[in-house]
Amino acid sequence: MAKIAPISGFPEHLPAAYLVEQELIEILRHTFMLHGYVGIETRAVEPLLQLLAKGETSKEVYLLNRLQDEGNAPKADNSRLGLHFDLTVPFARYVLENAGHLQFPFKRYQIQKVWRGERPQEGRFREFIQADIDVVGRDVLPAHYEVELPLVMADAFTKMSKLGVPPIKILVNNRKLSQGFYQGLGLTDIDAVLRCIDKLDKIGAEAVIELLGKEAGATPQQAQACIEMASINGNVEALAEAQAVAAKYQADSELFQEGLAQLQQLCVAAQARNPGVVEIDLKIARGLDYYTGSVYETVLVGHEDLGSICSGGRYDKLASDGKVSYPGVGMSVGVSRLVARLLKAGILGMSRPSPAAVLVAVTSEDNRAVSEQVAATLRAKDIPTEVAPTAAKYGKQIQYAEKRGIPFVFFPPDDEVTDSRVKDIRSGTQITTTAQEWEPPADDLWPQLVTNV
């Protein structure tokens, strides 16, 4: 076998960490379903042309080649396949492909791996899990879904916070507000302005002002106005500031007011349904040019350095077959990044790595069937159960359980004792019982998420 070494950017977990990831995914999935979102999964590959249509990310795509095609002339671009780099592009394609079989508005969740052909680099994943929700309408999509999405995510994270995950803040803006303001200022290359503003946190105001001049043709006064607007944040009252800045620069517009009203609607509803979780932040721009309304980013409080762990927004033109368009709104959780941090910071762990709550000891290899029968009885009661690997001395069998975090050992009758017994190997307490009778305390039945590990 070839030399074994991890591959940079392709993280893998040991069993306990995998369980943590699964538990968080289960919370997301359950919350999405509780809000009526339908699950789908798309194939891992898309035609290269479809992947490239989104621009920007073209360099990050992994192309597939069949090994037996090696050496043949490269195939035409329109028949080449690549691994998807997000779940939005495949979802848009899925909607178009299956429109006749879906009910609109179509609310779907999707939790899958995605791949990005990045250069290997510290902290950058090339394979990671995303958990997305999107709602798409046929031709129209009411704005209240732009309110709903961040609140569904907030619901999931509120559940996680009860298990020890730090709270989140969902930062919101509206493209219409930003675009309306920039246009009101007389700027024309809105995408360029958005790209510059997107860098505000990273490079600071002065550098962005310079960049706005260079990349978006902004005068120093226009650039200053952009910075002033983008620096506004807080609760719903921050919108009055935005009004004032727009008035000051005479950059008000219908589009600006539309965005402002939608942002207000979102903040008011969020304040009623999950107070404090949603915050206005007018520098949120999201690089992707397909957003047309609300845009979202999410920080884990105390872990802001991690960047956004759940982002998205409203898009109107991502999916269209020429006749019908499917406007949508979506948010995507970066599950792998979130989990990696929670594990690394010791915030979450599992109560034990093994699913088994009890190990059934084996008195002798000839009597293995007796232990198997005990295990079958316990499993029929939905108690996760292992049978000892060998009829070693009890001390060694107990050690087997200990090493795996299995809390109980069940001893069938043996040469010396005619009753069966269960020992809690953490406390040493032993009781006489039967397989029919015994069950573990509910907290010990399955491995559980634990905090501060």
Nearer to its own copies, 221 or 399 (CB): 399
Give start and end residues of each alpha helix (H) in 199-319.
Answer: 200-216, 220-230, 238-248, 254-273
Q: How many CB atoms lie within 10 A of CB 425?
A: 18
Min dist. Cβ of residue 44 to its own copies (A): 6
CB-based contacts of 183, cutoff 8 Å, min separation 6: 190, 251, 253, 255
Nearer to its own copies, 112 or 178 (CB): 112
Q: Which of 24, 27, 28, 92 binds its own copies (CB under 8 A)?
A: 92
Per CB under 8 A, contacts with its own copies among 139-198 are 142, 144, 148, 155
Min dist. Cβ of residue 381 to its own copies (A): 10
Rg (CA), the chain: 28
User: Are 156 and 274 a contacting pair, CB within 8 Å?
Assistant: no
Binding of its own copies at residue 344 (CB under 8 A)?
Answer: no
Min dist. Cβ of residue 271 to its own copies (A): 11
Q: Which of 269, 345, 370, 392 binds its own copies (CB under 8 A)?
A: 269
N-terminal to C-terminal alpha carbon distance within the chain: 36
Binding of its own copies at residue 272 (CB under 8 A)?
Answer: yes
CA–CA dist 177, 253 (Å, integer): 9
Note if the bond before 105 is cis, omega within 30 degrees: yes
Nearer to its own copies, 309 or 356 (CB): 356
Min dist. Cβ of residue 123 to its own copies (A): 16
Per CB under 8 A, contacts with its own copies among 124-143 are 127, 137, 142
Q: If 0-12 CB within 10 Å is exposed, 13-18 middle and 19+ buried, where does residue 14 land?
A: exposed
Per CB under 8 A, contacts with its own copies among 382-421 are 382-387, 389-390, 400, 403-404, 406
CA–CA dist 196, 215 (Å, integer): 8
Q: Which helix (H) or strand (E) holds 158?
A: helix 144-161
Q: Which of 368, 392, 424, 450 binds its own copies (CB under 8 A)?
A: 368
Q: Which of 91, 94, 315, 411 binds its own copies (CB under 8 A)?
A: 94
Binding of its own copies at residue 259 (CB under 8 A)?
Answer: no
Please report how the helices 238-248 and 220-230 are oriented relative to each other, as an axis angle in degrees rounded to 10.
170
Q: What are the tokens at 66? A: 């069949």
Total of residues contacting its own copies (CB under 8 A):
99
Nearer to its own copies, 155 or 191 (CB): 155
Binding part of the chain for its own copies, among 185-193, 224-232, 376-384, 429-437 by CB under 8 A, reads 376-384
Nearer to its own copies, 205 or 269 (CB): 269
Binding part of the chain for its own copies, among 231-239, 369-377, 419-427, 435-443 by CB under 8 A, reads 369-377
386 strand-pairing partners: 359
Binding part of the chain for its own copies, among 90-98, 184-192, 303-311, 430-438 by CB under 8 A, reads 90-98
Binding of its own copies at residue 93 (CB under 8 A)?
Answer: yes
342 strand-pairing partners: none
Q: Which helix (H) or strand (E) holds 293?
A: strand 291-300
CB-based contacts of 392, cutoff 8 Å, min separation 6: none
Site string for its own copies, 281-320 (x = CB under 8 A): --------------------------------------xx
User: Are 21 and 130 a contacting pair, CB within 8 Å?
Assistant: no
Per CB under 8 A, contacts with its own copies among 97-116 are 97-98, 101-103, 105, 107-108, 113, 115
Min dist. Cβ of residue 73 to its own copies (A): 14
Note if the bond before 90 is cis, omega within 30 degrees: no
Q: Which helix (H) or strand (E) holds 11?
A: none
Site string for its own copies, 26-65 (x = CB under 8 A): -------xxxxxxxxxxxxx-xxxx--x----xxxxxxxx
Per CB under 8 A, contacts with its own copies among 239-258 are none
Nearer to its own copies, 37 or 182 (CB): 37
Nearer to its own copies, 59 or 393 (CB): 59
DSSP secondary structure letter of residue 294: E
User: Are 217 and 189 a contacting pair, CB within 8 Å?
Assistant: yes
Q: What are the tokens at 151? A: 């609140």
Nearer to its own copies, 70 or 443 (CB): 70
Binding of its own copies at residue 66 (CB under 8 A)?
Answer: yes
User: Are 123 and 93 a contacting pair, CB within 8 Å?
Assistant: no
* Residue entry with tokens 């029968």: 373
Min dist. Cβ of residue 50 to its own copies (A): 5
Q: Which of 198, 224, 355, 370 binds its own copies (CB under 8 A)?
A: 355
Min dist. Cβ of residue 244 to its own copies (A): 28
169 strand-pairing partners: 299
- Which among 279, 208, 275 is positioned nearest to 239, based on CA atoms? 279
